[in-house]
């Protein structure tokens, strides 16, 4: 009689262990399936991360940076003139930056939404440097100083404005 009671207890224990194990397996399977199904999303988020890193270092890359043109070396400074030249040769770079869109917008002073071209420069505020015309993820942005040479008729001086550089990667989802 005592042996039968013990057997029942062991059975109870085995059922409980099996149930808990199945529960863990079930949860693990759900977790794995969600993880696997989000592979595309991961690819997109990697692209987004790349854009975020790129946005931080782009302003200091040779194609964009002010170098020593505006008195000493400046950090996070973009040469407006360089940018206008680069805009005309951006096709030569192909997929060099690995992103779908690069845009620079002047934040202050706010002078409307005039797109920069040879005819509107320098009285413009949006420089569309790269646009692959694909679906993009929300842009990552960072502040930069956009500098150029200007004149008031008497002297030539450095004019730096506050701008935002926006980088978007392709939405692969």
- Is the backbone of residue 76 left (phi > 0), alpha (psi -120 to 50) or beta? left
How far apart are the C-alpha atoms of 31 and 24, rounded to whole Å?
10
How far apart are the C-alpha atoms of 126 and 33, rounded to whole Å?
43
Q: Under a CB-based contact definition with an 8 Å cutoff, are residues 58 and 64 in contact?
A: yes
How far apart are the C-alpha atoms of 67 and 50, rounded to whole Å?
24
Q: Does the protein bind another protein through residue 126 (CB under 8 A)?
A: no
Nearer to another protein, 116 or 140 (CB): 140
| Range in contact with another protein (rule: CB under 8 A) among 22-30, 83-91, 94-102, 112-120 | 22-30
How far apart are the C-alpha atoms of 82 and 98, rounded to whole Å?
20
Nearest partner of 117 among 162, 84, 86, 149, judged by Cα: 84
Nearer to another protein, 60 or 90 (CB): 60
**Nearest distance, CB of residue 75 and another protein, angstroms:** 6
Interface residue with another protein, options 33, 73, 110, 120 (CB under 8 A): 110
**Nearest distance, CB of residue 58 and another protein, angstroms:** 11
**Nearest distance, CB of residue 74 and another protein, angstroms:** 6
Instruction: Show the binding pattern over residues 43-62: x = contacts another protein (CB under 8 A), - = does not.
Output: --x--xx--x---x--x---
DSSP 65: B
Q: Which residues contact another protein (rule: CB under 8 A)?
A: 16, 20, 23-24, 27, 31, 34, 45, 48-49, 52, 56, 59, 74-77, 107-110, 137-138, 140-145, 147, 155, 157-164
């Amino acid at each position: 009689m005592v042996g039968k009671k013990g057997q029942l207890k062991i059975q109870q224990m085995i059922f409980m262990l099996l149930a808990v194990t199945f529960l863990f397996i079930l949860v693990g399977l759900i977790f794995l399936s969600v993880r696997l199904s989000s592979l595309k999303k991961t690819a997109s988020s990697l692209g987004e991360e790349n854009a975020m890193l790129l946005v931080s270092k782009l302003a200091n890359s040779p194609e964009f940076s002010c170098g020593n043109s505006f008195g000493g070396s400046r950090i996070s400074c973009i040469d407006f003139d360089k940018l206008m030249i680069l805009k005309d040769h951006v096709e030569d770079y192909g997929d060099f930056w690995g992103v779908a869109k690069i845009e620079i917008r002047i934040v202050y002073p706010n002078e409307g939404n005039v797109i920069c071209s040879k005819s509107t420069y320098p009285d413009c505020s949006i420089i569309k440097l790269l646009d692959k015309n694909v679906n993009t993820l929300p842009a990552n942005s960072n502040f930069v100083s956009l500098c150029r040479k200007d004149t008031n008729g008497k002297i030539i001086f450095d004019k730096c404005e506050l701008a935002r550089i926006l980088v978007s990667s392709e939405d692969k989802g």
